[in-house]
Amino acid sequence: MKILAVCLGNICRSPLAEGILKSKLPESFIIDSAGTIALHEGEHPDKRAISTAAKYGLDISKQRSRPILPKDFVEFDVIYCMDLSVFETVISMAKNEDQRRKIVLYLEEAGFTGDQADVPDPYWGNLSDFENVYQLLDEAADSIVAKLVS
Q: Which residues are catalytic?
A: 7, 13, 121
Query: Which of 15, 43, 44, 18 is closest to 31 using CA atoms?
Result: 18
- CA dist 133 and 13 (Å) reads 7
User: How many CA atoms are closer than 13 Å to the CA of 51, on its beta-carbon side?
Assistant: 9
Q: Which residue is nearest to ligand 4NP (CB)?
A: 9
Q: Least distance to ligand 4NP from the beta carbon of 116, Å?
A: 17
* Residue with Cβ nearer ligand 4NP (118 or 121): 121
Q: Least distance to ligand 4NP from the beta carbon of 12, Å?
A: 3
Q: Least distance to ligand 4NP from the beta carbon of 88, Å?
A: 14
Residues near ligand 4NP, by CB under 6 A: 7-13, 39, 121, 123
Q: Least distance to ligand 4NP from the beta carbon of 52, Å?
A: 12
